[in-house]
Structure 1
Amino acid sequence: MADLSPRERKSRSPVNTVRKSKSPVTMRRSRSPVTMRRSKSPVTAARRSRSPAALRREARNSNIDKEPPPLVDREKTCPLLLRVFCNVGRHHRPDEFTRHRVPSNELQIYTWLDCSLRELMSLIREVNPDTRPKGTQFSFSTVYPDMRRGGYRLKELGKTLSGKRGMDDDTTLYSRKFKIGDFVDVAVIPRSRNRPY
């Protein structure tokens, strides 16, 4: 060390070598969690990989209550009175339902909240022979009172197809937040006017 100049001694100083190679500031910059989130964001990757059809399905399924259906013992639980209104080709208009007046084609069914749309379709087919042909589509909507604006509003429950399994067959009244006292409106679409869904 005696033969080295002061500049060479400074460059070979063990203190400088440790500080330059093991600087905690440098390590934090290279392993910044912010940088990792930007490069490996799962949210961004998922959004880019989703198609418009997948986003529509996700938005539709987000309205469905994810809670498990209630365990109903039908032998011990009193059924509810479900007032069903069927119409060929289209749903009834909301203004056809008032406090003292409803459509004349009413069907009264005693069932439970765990009743599925396919079960409801079978009950309608039993009393209405015109809806029995295969390929007939049933579009279910709940009719509930609008507490803010008055009158009634319609909300879609799902669709079933006679003679064919569908994705809404196992949808229950409870899963779509049906309230006791609401109505169910059914648009019965014959096979000749039916479109695949």
Structure 2
Amino acid sequence: MANVESMIVEEKSQPAKQVDREKTCPLLLRVFCSTGRHHSVSEYMYGNVPSNELQIYTWQDATLHELTSLVRDVNPDTRKKGTYFDFSVVYPEYRSQSFRMREIGVTCSGQKGADDNKTLAQAKFCIGDFLDISITPPNRLPPMRRQRQY
């Protein structure tokens, strides 16, 4: 028998680059929230977007926890402890002239989570992309973890 070695490769996250928010112009983040589900990618086609747009001026070093707080500030129904926020980036697929959606993380009101400190830059967010957030109230099951594609 041959000696077989297993190799465990640990993915190391890139350290977040600090943005001087006093000197750097913020970007316009177009956010679309929905209760219990993500919007369909087809809702972003042909220059259309879902009707419930939230516009946030922020920076590439904004964390998912920070974005969760901003959504909670404008939407009182999401302030309950145990509310899940499932973040996805919606971005154009230029080859097929369509849009794609990619999950970037989940946060939960009142609980610390592994994705809380993930920044937009670490999630490979590009200016012009949309943020789609599925909000799950505490009385429902939390979002199923899908396999991530980064």
Q: Is the TM-score greater than 0.5? A: yes
**2:74 pairs with 1:74:** no
Q: Could you tell me how far apart the structure 2 residues matched to 1:135 and 1:149 are?
A: 38
How far did residue 101 of structure 1 move? 1.1
Equivalent residue runs for 1:44-123 within 5 Å: 44-46=5-7, 62=11, 66-123=13-70
Q: Could you tell me how far apart the structure 2 residues matched to 1:192 and 1:174 are?
A: 32
Query: What is the root-mean-square deviation in Å for CA atoms of aligned residues?
Result: 2.0
Contact 2:136 2:142 in 1 (8 A): no
How far did residue 67 of structure 1 move? 3.2
SS at match of 1:185: strand
Q: Could you tell me how far apart the structure 1 residues matched to 2:101 and 2:46 are?
A: 15
Correspondence for 1:158 among 78, 102, 105: 105
How far did residue 183 of structure 1 move? 0.2
Q: TM-score, normalised by structure 2?
A: 0.88
* Runs of at least 5 residues in structure 1 that lack an aligned partner in the other structure: 1-37, 48-54
Larger Rg: 1
**Count of paired positions:** 143
Equivalent residue runs for 1:1-197 within 5 Å: 39=3, 44-46=5-7, 62=11, 66-195=13-142
How far did residue 68 of structure 1 move? 2.5
Q: Could you tell me how far apart the structure 1 residues matched to 2:59 and 2:71 are?
A: 15
Contact 1:143 1:155 in 2 (8 A): yes
Contact 1:87 1:187 in 2 (8 A): yes
Q: Could you tell me how far apart the structure 2 residues matched to 1:190 and 1:161 are?
A: 10
Q: Any idea what the Cα deviations from partners look like across 1:70-89, whole Å, max 9, x if unmatched?
A: 22000111100000000000
Contact 1:135 1:194 in 2 (8 A): no
Q: Any idea what the Cα deviations from partners look like across 1:26-45, whole Å, max 9, x if unmatched?
A: xxxxxxxxxxxx64x6xx24
Q: TM-score, normalised by structure 1?
A: 0.68
Contact 1:143 1:153 in 2 (8 A): yes
Structure number with higher helix proportion? 1
Contact 1:141 1:154 in 2 (8 A): yes
How far did residue 46 of structure 1 move? 3.9
The amino acid across from 1:194 in the alignment is L
Structure number with higher strand proportion? 2
Q: Could you tell me how far apart the structure 2 residues matched to 1:130 and 1:148 are?
A: 39
* Runs of at least 5 residues in structure 2 that lack an aligned partner in the other structure: 146-150
